[in-house]
Amino acid sequence: MVLNQLQPFTEHARPLQLATLPDPVPAENEILVRVLACGVCHTELDEIEGRTPPPQLPMVLGHQVVGRVAQTGRNAQWFKVGDRVGIAWIFSACGECKFCRTGRENLCDDFRATGRDVNGGYAEWMTVPESFAHPIPEIFTDAEAAPLLCAGAIGYRSLKLTGLQNGQALGLVGFGASAHLVLKLVRFQFPQSPILVFTRSEAERTFARELGATWAGDLADPSPTKLDAIIDTTPAWKPIVEALRHLERGGKLVINAIRKENADQDYLQRLDYPTHLWMEKVIQSVANVTRQDVREFLELAARIPLKPEFQEFELAEANQALWELKSRKIRGAKVLRIG
Ligand SMILES: [Zn+2]
Ligand SMILES: [Zn+2]
């Protein structure tokens, strides 16, 4: 499924089209992967609508890719044919800058993103440098593993950045693929921590309660406790400002979004220093995920075991899956079944 043209995603739009492309050939340090499943991520909407556009078109989107190694490049040696691997957002990085040299390739200026800068997993085949492929633990099916590669891994990184300790209260603003995995993770890692979920959608609130949220409501509601940490996964600005009212002194709000939509950016004018920021409140963004994040998270998720709630679509139904994401018909994650 290829993106040929950037466009606003409206109800009857079909931004992705089925196409037949030449089979990719692995370069010497790459592996060729037969794709079996690919997760659907909000970042695809940011790409289609031009907030983080592919530098060239057509482009095959998709960066939560699970597949089996079908061929190895001449110098590739870590995987053998038949191994199951995952491919995440970072497809490659320069390997030489101060960030790459300290395990922070997520901040590398020259990193290339899977499914944005190079063809990704909304396809039957893809190639990837072997050092950016990740072994998938046995315990997961292909479809279960796919959402772990972005939604799960970025949720894991966001949670690490909050510095949450067991017993401290966590707020989740928005309750999609990433947040529902964070909720499951926190219940395991920090069983004493109350988890409050803020979302406008009654269906998402119900889902959050089913998964064990302590409380679920709207940001305008009085919350039962101040929050030591908040993770925001919404595409908007209003929730940021509103969430800061609920943040405890010295607390941290982590924004897990590659781009915010601009529709309600004016709302930032309502930021009131004493109410929203004073008392050492911290706001931090989370950018991409490192290989270490992905691998640590996959191992942790296998141990728990932590499995996503998800809904499957055929590859040719990718537009439908994306539209449901855009229109917030969300219950956990969405996965394209390909192999
Ligand atoms: Zn993603
Ligand atoms: Zn670099």
Residue 101 Cα to ligand 2 middle (Å): 7
Residue 249 Cα to ligand 1 middle (Å): 31
> Residue 30: what pLDDT?
98
Ligand that lies nearest to the alpha carbon of residue 233, given by its number in the listed order: 1
Residue 89 Cα to ligand 1 middle (Å): 7
Residue 285 Cα to ligand 1 middle (Å): 15
Rounded to whole angstroms, the Cα distance separating 248 from 225 reads: 9
Residue 289 Cα to ligand 2 middle (Å): 13
For residue range 171-203, what is the model confidence (pLDDT) as tens digits?
Answer: 999 999 999 999 999 999 999 999 999 999 999
Peptide bond before residue 224 is cis, with ω within 30 degrees of 0: no
Q: How far does Cα 182 stand from its chain's mean position?
A: 11
Ligand that lies nearest to the alpha carbon of residue 148, given by its number in the listed order: 1
Which of 99, 6, 106 lies closest to 49, judged by CA?
6
> Residue 330: what pLDDT?
80
Sign of CA dihedral 175, 179, 183, 184: positive
Residue 62 Cα to ligand 1 middle (Å): 8
Residue 109 Cα to ligand 2 middle (Å): 6
DSSP secondary structure letters along 234-247:
-SSSHHHHHHHHHE
Residue type, 251: G
Ligand that lies nearest to the alpha carbon of residue 43, given by its number in the listed order: 1
Ligand that lies nearest to the alpha carbon of residue 42, given by its number in the listed order: 1
Quick check: 152 and 308 in contact, CB under 8 A? yes
Ligand that lies nearest to the alpha carbon of residue 93, given by its number in the listed order: 2
Rounded to whole angstroms, the Cα distance separating 9 from 11 reads: 7
Ligand that lies nearest to the alpha carbon of residue 116, given by its number in the listed order: 1
> Residue 339: what pLDDT?
83
- Return the structure tokens found at 147: 């959402």
Ligand that lies nearest to the alpha carbon of residue 61, given by its number in the listed order: 1
Ligand that lies nearest to the alpha carbon of residue 325, given by its number in the listed order: 1
Residue 258 Cα to ligand 1 middle (Å): 9
pTM across the whole model: 0.96
Over the chain (339 residues), the average pLDDT of each successive run of 10 is 96 94 97 98 96 97 98 97 98 98 97 98 98 98 98 97 98 96 97 97 95 97 96 96 97 94 93 96 97 97 96 97 91 94
